[in-house]
């Protein structure tokens, strides 16, 4: 658990914006909420989808380590756009599978060997239940994660392995809790030694967590409207990458004390933004590489990290134990995750995908599941 930073050791943080999504991402069709059905999607011929009725098991029919959860809300990540399109960096998908890995709900029933949950508990989903609680996911686990190789959260009720759940923060409502699975655990893992890009989910989560421990945050974005929102959330300065497309990394570095650069940079753009991240990081700083939402760009040679004398660290979310720490921290600091102004119903999931793809959102795109 990170401790409150003092003014003397407060890290300097830069938040960069997610860059341009490629135009070949596909949306997905909507799913109608029905408490007696699970809704599955076929992604082999995007953007087609199908629904499959699956009886909801009784408590006696659950496997020993399974938990039946009534889902109240879910949220989308950029990985959902990748999965919904042609096979890409996320690897293959085996249809039919229920999409989505972020969600929050109520435990309805538990299997005979489940020790951590009971009916009535409020829970949020953990995207990789295949590894021990203290382990971190690797690329090898990506094809089996929730919403890709294992049924995810865009359904009204579903069965999850016990390891796919953690207790939800007591201080959050369903919509807020449904944002935590990927973006907030990734931010938590990368954040405490920090420097971040974006106005998407991870970037906003990192900004909120960083300011909660007294870090100084510089953010980057593409518009004055988003810049104002970032400052309201605690960013000290905001860099507009559209008005300075070739030099915003250096511009950001100059905003750090004595122009020395940032302790940590969280890079979500991949090759398109990594050069700017390296320009902004301080000597012996850390660049956290957590995504590739930017457009195709020439690969940045890793020799560049030597020239900038910094550490580059790749991150695929956080461990289940880190997720539990994050939940405690959110309750302790009374942090309220930011969600987009537009909230969708499950039947309108296609429109939620479209809003994410078209980058019309600020923070997390959330889907409400009514019962």
pLDDT tens for each residue of 163-198: 999 999 999 999 999 999 999 998 888 765 343 444
Question: What is the pTM assigned to this prediction?
Answer: 0.75
Residue-level pLDDT at 86: 64
Record the tokens describing residue 230, joined without a space.
């970032």
CB 61 within 8 A of CB 108: no
Residue-level pLDDT at 45: 40
Q: Which positions ≥6 away from 215 have C-beta within 8 Å? A: 5, 10, 11, 12, 13, 194
Record the tokens describing residue 189, joined without a space.
């893992």
For β-strands 122-125 and 364-368, DSSP reports them as unpaired
Residue-level pLDDT at 87: 52
CA distance 75 to 154: 9
Residue-level pLDDT at 48: 54
* pLDDT tens readout for residues 193-239: 343 444 466 778 888 988 888 888 888 888 888 889 888 888 888 88
Residue-level pLDDT at 52: 63
Residue-level pLDDT at 112: 97
CA distance 125 to 154: 12
User: For residue 147, which of 349, 363, 364, 307 has the smallest C-alpha distance?
Assistant: 349
Q: Spell out, as residue ranges, where the chain has pLDDT lower than 50.
A: 1-8, 15-47, 193-199, 294-295, 297
Q: Which positions ≥6 away from 233 have C-beta within 8 Å? A: 204, 207, 208, 211, 338
Residues across the chain? 371
Beta bridge partners of 84: none
- 311: Cα separation from own chain's centroid: 22
Could you tell me the domains of the chain?
12-21+182-314 (3.40.50.720), 59-179+339-368 (3.90.180.10)
Residue-level pLDDT at 210: 84
């Amino acid at each position: 658990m990170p401790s409150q930073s003092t003014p003397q050791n407060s890290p300097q943080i830069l938040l960069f914006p997610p860059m341009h999504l490629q135009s070949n991402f596909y949306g997905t069709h909507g799913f109608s909420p029905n408490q007696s059905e699970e809704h599955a999607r076929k992604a082999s011929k995007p953007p087609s989808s199908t629904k499959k009725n699956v009886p909801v098991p009784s408590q006696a029919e659950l496997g020993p380590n399974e938990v039946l959860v009534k889902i109240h809300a879910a949220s989308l990540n950029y990985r959902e756009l990748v999965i919904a399109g042609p096979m890409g960096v996320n690897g293959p998908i085996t249809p039919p599978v229920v999409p989505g890995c972020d969600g929050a709900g109520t435990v309805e029933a538990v299997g005979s060997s489940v020790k951590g949950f009971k009916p009535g508990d409020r829970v949020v989903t953990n995207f990789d239940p295949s590894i021990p609680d203290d382990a971190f996911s690797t690329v090898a686990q990506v094809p089996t994660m929730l919403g890709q190789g294992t049924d995810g959260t865009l359904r009204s009720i579903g069965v999850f392995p016990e390891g796919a759940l953690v207790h939800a923060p007591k201080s959050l409502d369903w919509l807020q809790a449904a944002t935590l699975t990927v973006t907030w655990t990734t931010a938590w893992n990368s954040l405490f030694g920090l420097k971040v890009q974006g106005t998407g989910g991870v970037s906003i989560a990192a900004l909120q967590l960083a300011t909660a421990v007294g870090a100084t945050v510089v953010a980057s974005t593409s518009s004055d409207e988003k810049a104002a929102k970032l400052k309201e959330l605690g960013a000290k300065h905001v860099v507009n990458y559209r008005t300075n497309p070739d030099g915003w990394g250096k511009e950001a570095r100059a905003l750090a004390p004595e122009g020395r650069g940032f302790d940590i940079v969280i890079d979500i753009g991949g090759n398109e933004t990594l050069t700017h991240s390296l320009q902004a990081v301080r000597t012996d700083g850390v660049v956290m590489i957590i995504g590739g939402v930017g457009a195709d760009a020439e690969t940045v040679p890793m020799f560049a990290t030597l020239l900038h004398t910094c550490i580059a660290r790749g991150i695929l979310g956080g461990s289940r134990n880190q997720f539990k720490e994050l939940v405690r921290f959110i309750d302790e600091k009374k942090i309220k995750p930011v969600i987009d102004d537009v909230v969708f119903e499950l039947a309108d999931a296609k429109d939620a995908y479209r809003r994410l793809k078209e980058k019309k959102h600020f923070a997390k795109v959330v889907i409400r599941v009514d019962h």
